[in-house]
Amino acid sequence: MIYLDKITKIYTSNNTRHVLFQDLSFEIPKGHNIAFLGANGAGKSTLFRLIAGSEYPTRGKIITDQHISWPVALATGIHSAMTGRENTRFIGRINGVKDLHAYERKVVDFAKLGKQYDVPVGKYSSGMRSRLAFACSLSIDFDIYLIDEVTAVGDASFKKRAQQALLERSREANVIMISHQIKELKQFCDSAIVINKGQLTFYNDINEGIKRYQAL
Amino acid sequence: MATLEKRTKWQIWFDVIYALLVREIRIGFNDKFGISWAVLNPVIFILVLSFLRGRLDGGETHTIPTFVFMAYGLINIQIFLQTFSAGASAIQKHKALFAFRQVQPISAILAACFFEILVKIFVIVGLMVAMYFLGIELHAANPLKIMLYIFLIWVFAMSLGILFGLMIAFVPEVKKIQLLITRPLFFISGVFFSLQDFPQSYWHVLNWNPILHAIELSRYSAYPAYGHSGVSESFLFIVVLTTTFIALSCYQIAWKQAISR
C-alpha cells in the first residue's frame, strides 16, 4: 500500500506558481499492476518521482511499507563515462545489494550485453542503455517497480523477457508504469489510475481507464 | 534476484558516500593522466610558485624558509577554494542521482569534499618528498596543530559549500557571485605575505578573514619563532563553528525542497 497523505505539490518557475496537486489524499491499492494515464503535464512523472522519494511534496507526506524501486527511466543514475559493469556496481552499492558479483551476473544475463558490458555506456545504443537500466532494477528484489517508458526502446525479444520476469515475480511484486503507448501498458498492467486536474481516479480494469483517458 | 541487506541509516549513509567517492575517482579524471593529475597539478603549481618567490627574496621570510612560508599558504588556500567549490557544485552536479532516495544532497557534498581532502593529503605527501630532495629542512614544531587548522579550514569550506550549494539550487545566479567572491581570497588570505608585513593600523582590513588566521597559525605551529601577532585561534574556532551550525540548520530546513524543484 502507498498512501498519499494530503500532499500538495507546487512548482515555481519564472515567478508563476504552478499547482499540480492540492491537499490530495489517495490510496494506491496493493496487488495491482497499475498504469498511470494522463495528459502531458498532468503530473504523471511528478507523482512517480514523489512515490519513489526522488523528490518531496511541498506539504504532506507519502506513507508506505513497501520496498519501492527508483524511477527506472533511460538515464537515471547511469553515467556514460562508466562501463555497464561500473554502473551496475554503483547502483548495487547504493541500494545495499548483498552480493555485488551475483548481481552483476544477473544484470548481464538479463540485459544480454555480453562483451559490451565492459564498454563505457556512452558507446551504447539507446536500446542497450534501456536494457541495462531495466535489468539493474529488475535484478533487485523490490515490491514495486516504477518504470517510465523504458520498455519502449528495447527490441521484441527483450520486451518478452522483461514481461516474463515481471510475470514470474507478479505474486510478490507489482509494477507502476508510465508510457504513451497504450499497447505497451496493456501488456504489463491490469488496472489504471487516471490523473486529471490534480485528481486521481482508480480503475480496476485497465480498459475502462483507457476509455476514460481517451475521452478526456 | 539480488536480495537487499537490511541497513541502518548510518550504513546507508556510509554505502552511498563510498559509492559516490568511487564514482568520483572513476569519472573525475578520464584522460591518460588519470587521477595522478589531481595530485601532480597542485604539487607542480605550489613548487614553482614557492620556488620563484623563494629565489626572489633570498631564502627567509620572518625567520622561516620562504619556500615553507609559501607552501603553507598555498596548501591551505587550495584546500579552502577547491573544497568550497566542490561542495557548492555537488548538489547541481549529482542532481540525476537524487532519483535514488538513498542519495541525499549531504552525501553528495560530503563525498565531493572527502575527495578533495584525500587529494590534498597526497599533495602534501608529494610536497614533503619534493622538499626532501630539494634539501629543504622538514620541520614542524607542532604537527597536530597544523592538522587541526587544515581540518578547520576544510570544515569551514564544506559549510560554506553547503550554504552556497543550497542557494544555487534555489537561485542559480548565486553561482556567479560565488566565483566573484572567491577570486580575491587568493590574494587577501596571507598566501604571499604575512600579517606582520603590514602596519598594525591596517590589520582590521585583513583580519576578519578566518583563512588568514588559519594560514598564519599553521606557520606559527611549524616555526614558533614566526610568532602569531594579530591572529587568534579562538576567532578561527568561533567562525568555523558558527558557519557549520548555520550551514547545517539551513540544510535541515531546505534540503528536501532544494531537490524538489
CA distance A28 to A44: 14
Q: What is residue A150's predicted lDDT score, i.e. its pLDDT?
A: 65
Do B1 and A71 make contact, defined as CB atoms within 8 angstroms? no
Chain A residues in contact with chain B using a Cβ-Cβ cutoff of 8 Å: 11-12, 49, 52-58, 67, 70-71, 73, 75-77, 79, 81-82, 86, 90-99, 102-103, 106, 139-141, 169
Supply angle C-alpha B170, A199, A148, rounded to 5. 65
Q: Which residues of B touch A73 (CB under 8 A)?
A: 99
> In angstroms, rounded to a whole number, what is the distance separating the alpha carbons of residues B130 and B35?
19
Q: Distance of CA A55 to CAs B95, B122, B145, Å? A: 11, 37, 42
Residues from chain A contacting residue B102 (CB–CB below 8 Å): 94-96
The pLDDT confidence band at residue B89, using thresholds 50, 70 and 90, is very high
Total-model pTM: 0.90
CB contact (8 A) between residue A94 and residue B19: yes
Residues of chain A above pLDDT 90, percent: 21
A65-74, A89-98, A174-183, B1-10: the lowest-pLDDT one: B1-10
B87: cell is 561542495
Q: What is the pLDDT of residue B57?
A: 66
Q: From the candidates A91, A95, A109, A141, which should be mutated to test the interface with B, based on the most B CB atoms within 10 A?
A: A95
Q: What is the pLDDT of residue B224?
A: 93
Number of separate domains in chain B = 1
- Which residues of chain A have a CB within 8 Å of the CB of B23? 79, 82, 86, 90
Taking CA–CA distances from B9, the nearest residue in chain A reads A96
Whether the CB-CB separation of B99 and A49 falls below 8 Å is answered with: yes
Residue B58 has pLDDT above 80, yes or no: no
Residue B48 is predicted with a pLDDT of 87
Alpha-carbon gap, residue A201 to A35, rounded angstroms: 12
Residue B103 CB neighbours (<10 A)? 24
> Which of A146-150, A204-208, B222-226, B232-236 comes out lowest in average pLDDT?
A146-150
Residues above pLDDT 90, as percent of chain B:
56
What are the angstrom distances between the C-alpha of B24 and each of A74, A131, B198, B237?
Answer: 21, 24, 42, 30
Query: What 8-state DSSP symbol labels residue A169?
Result: T
Q: Which of B89, B244, B237 is nearest to B159 (CA)?
A: B244
On whether any CB of chain A is under 8 Å from the CB of B231, the answer is no
Residues of chain A in contact with residue B260, where contact means CB-CB under 8 angstroms, are 55-58
Instruction: Kindly report, residue by residue over A87-146, the tens digit of the pLDDT.
Output: 999 999 999 888 899 999 999 988 888 889 999 988 988 888 888 888 898 888 888 988
- Contact call for A54 and B99, based on CB within 8 A: yes
Nearest to B72 by CA among B144, B122, B140, B161: B140
**Contact between residue B35 and residue B126 where contact means Cβ atoms under 8 Å apart:** no
Spatial distance between the Cα atoms of A174 and A28, rounded to a whole number of angstroms: 12
Give the residue among B85, A109, B49 at the shortest CA–CA distance from A101. A109
Is A75–B261 a contact, with Cβ atoms under 8 angstroms apart?
Answer: no
Judge whether residue A45 has pLDDT over 80. yes
**A151 pLDDT exceeds 70?**
no
Report pLDDT for B30.
66
Q: Which residues contact B259 (CB under 8 A, 6 or more apart)?
A: A54, A55, A56, B91, B95, B98, B105, B169
Q: What's residue B1's pLDDT?
A: 59
Spell out the residues 6+ positions from residue A212 whose beta carbon is closer than 8 angstroms to its own.
A37, A194, A201, A203
Rounded CA-CA distance B2/B14 in Å is 20
- Cβ contact (<8 Å) for A55 and B2? no
In the stretch 68-97 of chain B, residues with CB closer than 8 A to chain A read 96-97
ipTM above 0.90, yes or no: no
Sign of torsion over alpha carbons A76, A10, A209, A40: negative
Look at residue B116 in the predicted model and tell me its pLDDT.
92
The answer to whether residue B249 sits within a structural domain is: yes
Flag whether residue B56 sits within 8 Å of chain A, measured between CB atoms. Answer: no
DSSP one-letter code for A41: T
CA diameter of chain B: 72
Confirm whether B1 is domain-assigned.
no
Average pLDDT of span B173-179: 93
Strands A191-196, A199-203: pairing kind: antiparallel
CA pair distance B229, B236, nearest whole angstrom = 14
The answer to whether the Cβ–Cβ distance between B101 and A54 falls below 8 Å is yes
The mean per-residue pLDDT over the stretch A63-79 comes to: 84
Identify whether the C-beta of residue B215 lies closer than 8 Å to the C-beta of residue B77. yes
Q: Say how far residue A93 (Cα) sits from the centre of its chain.
A: 20
Residue A166 identity: L
For chain A, domains (ranges, CATH) are 1-69+143-155+172-216 (3.40.50.300), 78-141 (no CATH)
In B, minimum Cα distance to A49 occurs at B99
Residue at B124 is within a domain: yes
- Is pLDDT at B53 greater than 70 in this prediction? yes
Higher-pLDDT residue of B239 and B26 is B239
CA dihedral of B37, B43, B49, B50, whole degrees rounded to 10:
180
Identity of residue B241: L
Which residue range is the domain that position B78 belongs to?
15-24+31-258
Of residues B164 and A19, the one with the higher pLDDT is: B164
> What mean pLDDT, rounded, does chain A reach?
87
